[in-house]
Amino acid sequence: PGPAPWWASAVVYQVYPRSFADSDGDGVGDLRGITSRLDHLADLGVDVVWLSPVYASPQDDNGYDISDYRAVDPTFGTLEDLEELTDALHARGVKLVMDLVVNHTSDEHPWFVESRSSPSSAKRDWYWWRGPREGMEAGAPGAEPTNWRSAFSGPAWSLDEASGEYYLHLFSRKQPDLNWENPDVRAAVHEMMRWWLDRGVDGFRMDVINMVSKDVAADGSLPDGRDADPRTGLAGGGEHYLCGPRIHEYLAEMHAEVFAGRPEALLTVGEMPGVTVADAQRFTDPASAEVDMVFQFEHVDLDHDGSKWHSVPLDLLALKASFGRWQAGLAERGWNSLYWNNHDQPRIVSRWGDDSPEHRAASARCLGTLLHLHRGTPYVYQGEEIGMANFPWASAEQLRDIESRNHLAEEVGHGGDPAEVLSRVAVSSRDNARTPVQWDASPSAGFTTGEPWIAVNPDHAHGWSVADQADDPTSVLAHYRRLVALRHDWPVVALGDFTMLVPEHERVYAFTRRLAGEGPDGAPAVDELLVVANVGSSPVDLGDLLPEAVAGPGRDLELVLGTVPGGGGGDDADVAADPVLAPWEARVLRRG
């Protein structure tokens, strides 16, 4: 293998612009707001910013419904503001990765407007138009071409009354799916991507990119045989559009048309619901020339049963088994991305940590340590670095997310008890990730001088803000800074082999990282880290659980990074040797 790619030792930070920082007091975050807060990102030390969509959009799904790929939505500013942000990031050595949403457009995109205008329109075939099910009347219940469900409730097909045909939308009815079978669609996407790269963008995070190839029959028909059990798959019918028959062809073509031969150091990451380890090997194998890494969903699907609205407690053994398989599966070929959070997931400290006052900071540090010490490129979602928690949703009116609101309406419409449905939505809602970043303890947390578009978490006044944590060496923020630095400074963190230890232990998450290299004298040497964490709110005695690893003969362990306040400070040797792990304590130890 050649030299390690630059992103092996990089950390990416995701900005969700609507909720990051508001510069003009309209209550919605914007580009100038981001530019005004770059000190925070520099201080954290991240290498790349992934910016969620800022393109022109009716904002039906907060910008994931794009009506002009080459314009900035006035909500967020102007193209000049984006240029300023790009330059300011580059001046600090930080790259900018844009969101690429090309499985679908907005229904207000000129392409769809033209497509919808008539069945004989030149762009009709740019989207998925189909007549009603054979022998059925358009608009009759169940007459949709397939029974696939939209991820945001209801059928995945909507009827256009004028033509009597349906169009496909795997997400909202305002997000019609593009027809990638049509080469003109693909060419238009490639051209747009090159346009952004030419403007200095450093890569793309590709929204649901493994959904662009649909399992369509040779004659273009979608027969009854393509119906699915409506309760399986992401949106019901996933087997017909997740990693479909032409997906590798499309991504290889995109790579050749857009990225190949570019001298810049770029990053591509494909968001891929339902992707398996075997799929990911091929997608991320440099020899396939498709994408650098993928976002997989296996771990974040572990704590619900069937639907994301039915949460079950996390099984730590299953989590370890899942991470272990991904680490092993992408060890030789390909590369992992690592994330706990993004704009679609509830906050990790509330989800798998313990957000009670006693354990919140410790569990945030512990989970951060675990993630960042795996092999792969870690992603930090805004606010994660200060231990932001879920919001205490008390009424349906507080929710803004289309997915949450549609689900509430649907369940209540079917006779569900509103309070019960709300309590389940509150746990899993994407809005948990979308409350404003907490910059300080002032009334709107320093996010805006106006009325915030979504509630600010009241805990910002109680220590959970950037201002409160910035100068406190024991804070979650200070700990995340150390995690980022560790990946930059230690090749073994970026590149070392991964071996899971004690996979059957119910409370301890432990693994080693090993990298063969050269010692100071030029002789061959192995650098080895042991990571051990207590994933729970009571102490755990390691006893002789890890005798070899912890106290093998001649194996002194040095504490590289600890999570208990003071750890990493003066009495490191004692900490390293203590057999008892405090609640949510994590240690990164190095063999002497």
Do the beta carbons of residue 100 and residue 176 sit within 8 Å?
Answer: no
439 φ, ψ to 5°?
-85, -35
Helix (H) or strand (E) holding 94: none
Cα 449 to Cα 21, 82, 456, 469: the distances in Å are 10, 22, 12, 22
Catalytic site positions: 207, 271
Mutual orientation of helices 316-329 and 277-284 as an angle, nearest 10°? 30
Cβ atoms of 105 and 112 closer than 8 Å: yes
Residues touching ligand TEU, count (CB under 6 A): 14
> Of 433 and 560, which CB lies nearer to ligand TEU in the complex structure?
433
Nearest to 336 by CA among 298, 299, 374: 374
Question: What x-and-dash track marks residues 61-80 binding ligand TEU by CB under 6 A?
Answer: x--x----------------
Distance CA 138, CA 361 (A): 56
Residue 500 β-bridge partners: 511
Closest approach of ligand TEU to the CB of residue 194, in Å: 22
Q: Choose, by CB under 6 A, the member of 95, 308, 347, 487 that binds ligand TEU.
A: 308
Given the complex with ligand TEU, which of 347 and 479 has the nearer CB atom? 347
Helical residues (DSSP H) of 92-228, grouped into ranges: 110-117, 183-198
Provide the phi-psi class of 93: left if phi over 0, else alpha when psi is between -120 and 50, else beta.
left
171 forms part of the interface with ligand TEU (CB under 6 A) = yes
Of 402 and 589, nearer to ligand TEU (C-beta) is 402
Q: Which helix (H) or strand (E) covers residue 446, if one does? A: none
Give the nearer residue to ligand TEU in terms of CB position, either 28 or 143.
Answer: 28
CB of 193 vs ligand TEU, minimal distance in Å: 17
Q: Distance between terminal CA atoms of the chain? A: 29
Which 216-255 residues touch ligand TEU, going by CB under 6 A?
234
CB-hemisphere CA count at 13 Å for 134? 5
Distances (CA, A) of 258 to 124, 192, 289: 26, 9, 11
If one asks whether residue 16 binds ligand TEU (CB under 6 A), the answer comes out as: no
Minimum Å distance from CB 209 to ligand TEU? 10
Cross-strand pairs, 95: 48
Q: How far is the CB of 100 from ligand TEU (least distance, A)?
A: 11
183 touches 191 (CB < 8 A): no
Contact between 161 and 154 (Cβ < 8 Å): no
Q: Both tokens of residue 241?
A: 């559009």
Bridge partners of residue 527, in order along the sequence: 515
- Binding track, positions 268-307, relative to ligand TEU; x by CB under 6 A: ---x-x----------------------------------
Nearer to ligand TEU, 212 or 508 (CB): 212
Nearest-approach distance from CB 14 to ligand TEU, in angstroms: 10
**Beta carbon of residue 532, minimum distance to ligand TEU (angstroms, whole number):** 31
| Least distance CB 344 / ligand TEU (angstroms) | 4
Question: Of the candidates 208, 267, 362, 581, which one interacts with ligand TEU according to CB under 6 A?
Answer: 208
Pick 396 or 551: Cβ nearer ligand TEU: 396
Does 385 engage in binding with ligand TEU (CB under 6 A)?
no
Position with the least CB separation from ligand TEU: 64
- The strand order across the sheet containing 586-591 reads 497-501, 508-518, 524-534, 586-591, 557-562
x-or-dash string of contact with ligand TEU, 79-118, rule CB under 6 A: ----------------------x-----------------
Indicate the SS3 state at residue 472: coil
Is residue 411 a contact point for ligand TEU (CB under 6 A)?
A: no
Pinpoint the alpha helices (H) of 139-219. Answer: 183-198
Each residue 488-517 as x (binds ligand TEU by CB under 6 A) or -, in order, gives: ------------------------------
The least CB distance from residue 171 to ligand TEU, in Å, is 4
Among 30, 292, 344, 459, indicate the residue that binds ligand TEU (CB under 6 A): 344
Nearest CB to ligand TEU, comparing residues 95 and 343 = 343
Residue 527 as a binder of ligand TEU (CB under 6 A): the answer is no
CA distance 308 to 296: 16
> How many DSSP H helices and E strands does the chain contain?
17, 20
Among 403, 411, 431, 459, binds ligand TEU (CB under 6 A): 403
Name which of 132 and 274 has its Cβ closer to ligand TEU: 274
- Footprint on residues 312-331 left by ligand TEU (CB under 6 A): none
Cβ contacts of residue 288 below 8 Å, gap of 6+?
A: 248, 252, 282
Q: Which of 28, 98, 102, 151 binds ligand TEU (CB under 6 A)?
A: 151
Rounded to a whole number of angstroms, the minimum distance from the CB of residue 271 to ligand TEU is 6
Residue 262 CA: distances (Å) to CA of 232, 270, 298: 41, 19, 33
Binding site for ligand TEU (CB under 6 A): 61, 64, 101, 151, 171, 207-208, 234, 271, 273, 308, 343-344, 403
